[in-house]
Structure 1
């Protein structure tokens, strides 16, 4: 019989915090948080952001390594991949179609919902102003947009992460079996080695001009999203679990040590936001924004595992955990909802920001709880 997977309640709360930071980032980029522009100590957390996409890869690597930590457990690649696709891709598919319709309407110039006789004209006007609309749609649905983003327009932008996540999932079965056999020395080599690709990626990014891209923004989008580099962030999470299982981080099980570590790591993460400089080499800023936080994220995850410390205790609150478990759904659905919300109200108001967040996270949590209930019901019948 396989051993039961380890469970770390505080991780659910961390997922909520990371998800919320990404949603707030895109609210800010859509000019929905202009009323907060004078909050100089808050806006860097949102616009940098403090908890960037990399934390989801570290978390996923850690959690899947803990789930498949039994060396005798068989992990078939195909069923595992189809299970992940069934969980995430369907939502991505429908959100991408919804975003496509919303963008067509937005670009059409219509200021009212078209009547049945106007739908054709509205669609034609919107499609004519879009950049390769059908190719963009196909690229998003086939998860290839993040590899060649300059060939199409962005639709549901957070969906780029599914490309690299599915690549990470593909290596999980065999890598987890290999990792469980490695000794502590190899694990420490991997602990440092996983940062080398990110460092090299930052150097290439900083030394190569615009390459073949039309502009610097397009180049950044490619370097930010390109899947292979994200795999090493995922592997870092897997290595962290193995080191944790070896007892390397037992010092964090002491209450006062966990709380102090959480405070210091949050302070370090906040401080790193101010290390980026507009006049510095882009590679330096890339490293500060992408590679350095990955290390801080990893240590922060480890500091939460025992459930001790002020922040871990907050993350273990049942309501926070329930919302946190559904955190990837807000990540996938929030951009279409923000786009739609702008069409019916002024989002640049505190009240509307709160209502939007409540709607996104309530819907996501209820959907997650429904899926859990349905799975339990199916098991009971079986």
Structure 2
């Protein structure tokens, strides 16, 4: 789950989107359920995460949420493009934008990186793994010991970092697309997600096979982890933001139809070839759900997603996502191969949820917010010299005095 964009910081005149903040937590929760159902941990010694001793229950739990992680991450990538385009301020300096976005993701990442290195990763991560992970460049490497090193959930931040670097270059062309062409370009982005998997299937080596997926490690990396391949989702979100802002979202495709479409896409993910369950099966439903929920905020229709509790949970969802590598993968390893009865297994999952929520709140309160307040904006004050008045412009000569503009932060 990528770092949340500042939905509340929309340009003047654009409504805020609190319902999308609440929806963000539900997507992060889908990733949590996916992680707690894994039959194999991504960190050494690669013991099972799934806590259930009953094989039927363990299989059912894993089966139910095995596609949820793909859905949640794709949701965040589309959402990132949507809210950044929504909040984009014409004329904003690229340096100011990048400063704010980097301060949003790196402080939390660095704190969790240090914890992971101290607790488990320092003993097993290769130098190329921990060093590239530190700078969020690890997903440009096809080797699993690098692209999933240190804190495995941070793989998605590698894509987010690319999105932030590319956004100032993309937003101009996106703004220049004629409104009548927005749907055409959105369809091209959907087609792009399919093209990535076609390349992965037919042009990327299919051997040697991965030990934990039906495809090779290289195919999994190219089709799922490689940041450039995820740009189609991000740009689709930007285009959908323009469609909603232009009032071109079809009223018939509201929240309930979009939820039904999402459920259908999630069901389809079990039947399409494995690589196409990453994005292709659910990309259209995800875009529809984000847009439909945004329309409810634009129209001022209240709902439980914009309640105080859901907005709070959405605000801590970035930290909640980052903490899962420690609060689930590492904590579970302390129990070694122990499996539990079904009631106890659910209590274990609730315990993981409580620890992860606590970690997310701590990161948001004591790391993310202070860092944003302190470093997200330049503290330099620019004082412009007062203009020298001409003879007929002097105060008292029939005109208002000329004042220097306020200091710029």
Q: How does the TM-score come out when normalised to structure 1?
A: 0.78
User: How has the CA–CA distance of structure 1 residues 88 and 221 changed in structure 2, closer, same or farther, with 3 Å as cutoff?
Assistant: same
DSSP 3-state at the match of 2:282: helix
What do the CA deviations read for 1:175-232 (whole angstroms, capped 9, x no partner)? 2233223212331221111123322221122224636867544224312110111111
What do the CA deviations read for 1:138-191 (whole angstroms, capped 9, x no partner)? 121122221114174422112122222111112223422332232123312211
Q: Report the Cα distance in structure 2 between the residues aligned to 1:331 and 1:374, rounded to whole angstroms.
A: 18
User: How has the CA–CA distance of structure 1 residues 137 and 374 changed in structure 2, closer, same or farther, with 3 Å as cutoff?
Assistant: closer
Contact kept? 1:95, 1:333, Cα under 8 Å? yes
1:38 aligns with 2:56: yes
Residue 154 of structure 2 corresponds to: 159
1:373 to partner: Cα distance: 8.1
Gaps of 5+ in 2: 1-9, 42-47, 378-408
Contact kept? 1:100, 1:155, Cα under 8 Å? yes
1:245 to partner: Cα distance: 1.3
Mapping of residues 1-382 of structure 1, within 5 Å: 3-29=12-38, 30=41, 31-35=48-52, 38=56, 43-49=62-68, 51-68=71-88, 73-103=90-120, 127=123, 130=124, 133-150=126-143, 152-153=145-146, 154-208=149-203, 210=205, 215=210, 216-223=215-222, 224-251=224-251, 258-276=254-272, 284-307=273-296, 313-345=303-335, 349-369=345-365, 372=369
DSSP 3-state at the match of 2:296: coil
Give the structure with the higher percent helix.
1
What do the CA deviations read for 1:250-275 (whole angstroms, capped 9, x no partner)? 515xxxx6353144223313322332
1:369 to partner: Cα distance: 4.8
User: How has the CA–CA distance of structure 1 residues 140 and 16 changed in structure 2, closer, same or farther, with 3 Å as cutoff?
Assistant: same
Q: Report the Cα distance in structure 2 between the residues aligned to 1:57 and 1:17, rounded to whole angstroms.
A: 14
What do the CA deviations read for 1:306-342 (whole angstroms, capped 9, x no partner)? 438xx98332221011111221112112102223422
Tell me which structure has the larger Cα radius of gyration.
2
DSSP 3-state at the match of 1:194: helix
Contact kept? 1:75, 1:173, Cα under 8 Å? no
Gaps of 5+ in 1: 106-126, 277-283
Q: Report the Cα distance in structure 1 between the residues aligned to 2:284 and 2:268, rounded to whole angstroms.
A: 12
- Matched pairs, number: 342
Contact kept? 1:77, 1:170, Cα under 8 Å? no
Residue 390 of structure 2 corresponds to: none
